Amino acid sequence: MVLDEAVDVPPSWHYNHKEDDEEKWLDSLEMRLADIYRTAEIPEIRDVVDREPPLSTFDGIKTLITNICQSTRDTYLLGEVLKPYIKKLDFANNECESRRQRNRRANTAKAHPVKIKKIAPTKGQLILWLAEHGYVDGLKYLSGQSFMDTGPHFCRIVMDHYNCYGFPICKGVFSYSSTNLLGHYISEASGLNDEKELGVVQMLMDAGCDPTPLGKNSPLLLALHYKDCIEVIRRMAKNDADFGVISLTNQLQIPDALFVAIYANHSMIPMILMLGGMKIVMKPTVVGVVKNGSRKFKDSVCCELARFRGLLRIIIPFCSVLSLCDKCKEETGCKTQIPTLMSLSRVAYRNGLRSSALLDDDLVVPETIPDYIRQYVLFKENPFDGPEFFEALKDRLQDEFQPVEDFLVDPTDNITQNF
């Protein structure tokens, strides 16, 4: 199990690396142990900081964490170790982000951060060390500390194990400046299908980390950017993650989880719809507002969804309000219709269930219900939903990840053109 072990640093440092660059960077950001713990008086901290020869920042922090986990397990000491370190780490991350923003229009490698050798442990690495030592009380303590929430800084989320046309599309659902411990771990893990990785995720949820926290960037949405996220999404559902949340800054005003799945991981759309218990309101238009120079989505919602093969047919049965423009009616063969009472009842019934209940068919629909009604409530083949719905659904139920562009109606379409 490998985390992205690099701390975000100025892009100029990434691409002009010399023997003494690490020394200069540490000096400029005061990231040495002696700088971080200049005023510390606790013996356990001073014993590590004052060693000769001095430990590197990475090894020093790891030693401090290991000592706490293996001996005192003192949450107060853990806080005294991490508070000053995280303050310096956040400053380094912010330096990277501000420089990346200045270079983002440049057609050079400097506009994009890359992995660098280990200099200072990230928050995800700190969380992993605590989890590997089974220090659950330490994780519970940190989950309630605001100094651990800042970030993640999305300049790092451009690594190979993510699948997205960039967070610019999904920025509306990642509008907060913080996440929780689970979000930090997920944003840095190299994958989410290994038993050890899944074990850490489960440990964090058991320690009180919500997969869909209010007012913070959602670990659930971060997980959806991984190709191999099926099992971790199931575990989040068992933890009653809320798949129906809609952020105010979500440009389509459809559930955030569905929004991210559409643009990052189409094969997850059926699972997200089934677990969401969601009522989708598809209004004729979304009136965009230009804010901070950013162009907002202005077209009809149906027009945006119609860019993807079969997507409208999948979503229509989950709509409590449905309005399609004439162009979409003609091109997709779908039509505006008033949802039937039976359809609204199904949506309302599923919407009243927790995601953990939606994982279990037997809990969703009592066995005494006629079989064809059971099939209807469970969105399995039935006499009421058209065959086109199930064909489009099966199209996305693949064993292997499929790139989002494979589902575009027009292969030459620029997926980012409306954002």
Predicted confidence at residue 20, as pLDDT, reads 52
Q: Which long-range contacts (CB under 8 A, 24 or more apart) does 29-36 make?
A: 29/88, 29/91, 29/92, 29/95, 30/88, 31/57, 31/88, 31/89, 31/92, 31/119, 31/120, 32/57, 33/57, 33/60, 33/61, 35/88, 36/84, 36/85, 36/88
- What does each C-alpha distance from 233 to 81, 139, 241, 314, 323 come to in angstroms? 33, 21, 9, 20, 30
Place 328 in a pLDDT band, splitting at 50, 70 and 90: confident
Over the stretch 16-72, which tens digit does the pLDDT of each residue have? 444 455 556 556 777 889 999 999 999 999 999 999 999 999 999 999 999 999 998
**Domain-wise residue ranges, the chain:** 1-156+176-216, 247-419
220-276 pLDDT tens trace = 999 998 888 999 999 999 999 999 999 888 888 899 999 999 988 899 999 999 998
Q: Is the peptide bond before 152 cis (omega within 30 degrees of 0)?
A: yes
Residue 205 pLDDT > 90: yes
CA distance 370 to 144: 48
pLDDT, mean of residues 394-416 = 83
The predicted-structure confidence for 368-391, as pLDDT tens digits, reads as follows: 889 999 999 999 999 999 899 999
Q: What does the pLDDT read at residue 19?
A: 43
Residue 309 has pLDDT above 80, yes or no: yes
Give the 3-state secondary structure of the chain: CCECCCCCCCHHHHHCCCCCHHHHHHHHHCCCHHHHCCCCCCHHHHHHHCCCCCCCHHHHHHHHHHHHHHCCCCHHHHHHHHHHHHHHHHHHHHHHHHHHHHHCCCCCHHHCCCCCCCCCCCHHHHHHHHHHCCCHHHHHHHHCCHHHCECCCHHHCCCCCECCCCHHHHHHHCCCCECCHHHHHHHHECCCCCHHHHHHHHHHHHCCCCCCCCCCCCHHHHHCCECCCHHHHHHHHHCCCCCCCCCCCCCCCCCHHHHHHHHHCHHHHHHHHHHHCCCEEECCCCCCCCECCECCCCCCHHHHHCCECCHHHHHHHHEEEECCCHHHHHHHCCCCCCCCHHHHHHHHHHHCCCHHHHCCHHHHCCCCCCHHHHHHHCCCCCCCCCHHHHHHHHHHCCCCCCCHHHHECCCCCCCCCCC
The whole-model pTM stands at 0.85
